[in-house]
Amino acid sequence: MVAPNDIPRLAEQMLHDYDIHTPGTLFADGLRLSINEAYLLQTRVAELRARRGEQLAGYKIGCVCASNQQSNGLSHPVYGRLWASEEYADAVTLARNAFANLAIEGEIAVSLRHDIEPENTSLSHITDAVDQVFTVIELHNLVFHSDHPRGAELIANNAIHAGVVYSRGVPPPETPTDIELSVVLDGHIVEHWLSRRWPDDVLRALPWLVAELAKNEQRLKAGHKVLTGAWGPPLTLDRPHSVDSSETPIGSSDPGNGSSRPRRHVIEHVKVGSPLLSNVTASIS
């Protein structure tokens, strides 16, 4: 437990560490928080960022799938803030040393055409508020210092969010439909989801987010973007990556004879694609 008057001091240190790409050193020094304290710390860091001129761009939802919750000792999703200074357009080249153990998630994001009132968290109301849909590459500083469970550290570190690369936006589907999404690393499909339903599967955590923000008198507003949550774990890029026999090279119809194809290297090209939506790419230098 920490005293309320400790939060401002801890937030200053958290933001300093984030700025110099060494996030979460307070946890390496033994800091442990409750979930509520972790959100208080995240909020205080956000206030510091706003005070120095950064613009809130929206929110991200994390840990929407059970496996990601379990890996962090949680039983619920988490949220973090998006910042305009960390938004990137398709085909961007990013410097690897601007991150700490850079990892990515491929997911779907939406932008909002009007505010979402906390009194109405129905999925239909939220779906009606969607202006555009994006495929995105979410960037993470995949660094943890706590032992399991580490959910509080995840939250305090803004759900380990470090930026997002957006595809061009497209109008949302007019009727319920299946969405396909793939993550491709250096030309190999490493994750592929079929038949994720719009809007039920894609937006299912947004009512939770609206309700959570309302607890602190916050709300989703017109123009905000929301990352709706990844369906798999973060994929690290800045340590050797092994491509196994289950990963199919783009343009190849033959995945091989089932034997392991060791190919260890540091990932340089990322693509997230959806036939119904659009593609987004990033190069890592």
Count of C-beta atoms within a 10 Å radius of residue 216 = 10
pLDDT band for 280, please (50, 70, 90 cuts). Answer: very high
Q: Phi then psi for 162, rounded to 5 degrees?
A: -135, 10
Arithmetic mean of pLDDT, 125-154:
95
pLDDT in tens, 13-63: 999 999 999 999 999 999 999 999 999 999 999 999 999 999 999 999 999
**How many structural domains is the chain composed of?**
1
Cβ contact 273:181 at 8 Å: yes
pLDDT of residue 4: 73
First to last CA, the chain: 41
Cβ contact 134:166 at 8 Å: yes
Distance CA 209, CA 284 (A): 31
Greater model confidence, 230 or 147:
230
Cβ contact 100:22 at 8 Å: yes
Q: In this model, does residue 224 exceed pLDDT 60? A: yes
**CATH number of the domain that residue 141 is part of:** 3.90.850.10
Q: In this model, does residue 68 exceed pLDDT 50? A: yes
Structural domain of 40: 4-251+260-284
Half-sphere exposure of 241 (CA within 13 A, CB side): 22
Q: Which two tokens stand for residue 167?
A: 């595809």
pLDDT of residue 251: 38
Stated pTM of the model: 0.89
Arithmetic mean of pLDDT, 230-237:
94
Instruction: Say what percent of the chain tops pLDDT 90.
Output: 82
Arithmetic mean of pLDDT, 121-139:
96
Q: In this model, does residue 255 exceed pLDDT 80? A: no
